[in-house]
Homo-oligomer: A and B are copies of this chain.
């Protein structure tokens, strides 16, 4: 059975995760998280030493969830091409959030990159990239796979940036359709 403080710790992480996404890391204060959690801010430092520690926990949680989702697709979807199409569809399904707040991974990487912490968001891209590469390897051979995986991620990220900047989900729908057509033509 989990330690007693574990639930509260998880609630802090979940709340911070949502706020970091919506407002950005730098613009989210510990007081904001405390208020949204309904806990006194003094209790933070029982669970986390610094704000950066909370960020690290948030990113670790995101990586774990992404990994689970990708593994599920690998179990549930038979053909590699369909798995990749499914990945591309994420930007449409999450379109409303992306229009409002950008891609969770991309916007975090962009913000952290301006400080010294670019490396923190990188595992999320890594995870997506490695998984895509495995699918492309089954689809078009191991030689072409790295390049294809990068090209796909570039397009999904670019569409997210512009959909966010213009507050227009059409960027996402159009690019997803183009990516899916490209995948099916490989």
**Residue ranges of A at the interface with B (Cβ–Cβ < 8 Å):** 22-24, 26-27, 101-102, 106-107, 109-111, 113-115, 118, 121-122, 125, 147, 150-151, 153-159, 161-162, 164-167, 171, 174-175, 178
B residues less than 8 Å from A109 (CB atoms): 161, 164-165
Measured between C-beta atoms, what is the minimum distance from A121 to chain B in Å? 6
The 7 closest A-B pairs by CB, nearest first: A158-B158, A154-B158, A109-B165, A157-B158, A24-B114, A157-B161, A110-B110
- A89-B175 Cα distance, complex, nearest whole Å: 22
Q: In the complex, A15 Cα to B23 Cα: how many Å?
A: 26
Q: State the number of copies, please.
A: 2
Interfacial chain B residues near A147, Cβ < 8 Å: 174
Given contacts A118-B164, A122-B165, A151-B178, 4 further A-B contacts (CB under 8 A): A24-B111, A125-B166, A157-B157, A157-B161
Interface of A is mostly: helix
CA distance A154 to B170 in the complex (A): 12
| Chain B hits for A27, CB < 8 A | 26, 114-115
Judge whether A114 and B107 touch: CB under 8 Å.
yes
Quote the shortest CB–CB distance from A151 to chain B (angstroms).
7
Q: Which residue of B lies closest to A106 (CB)?
A: B161
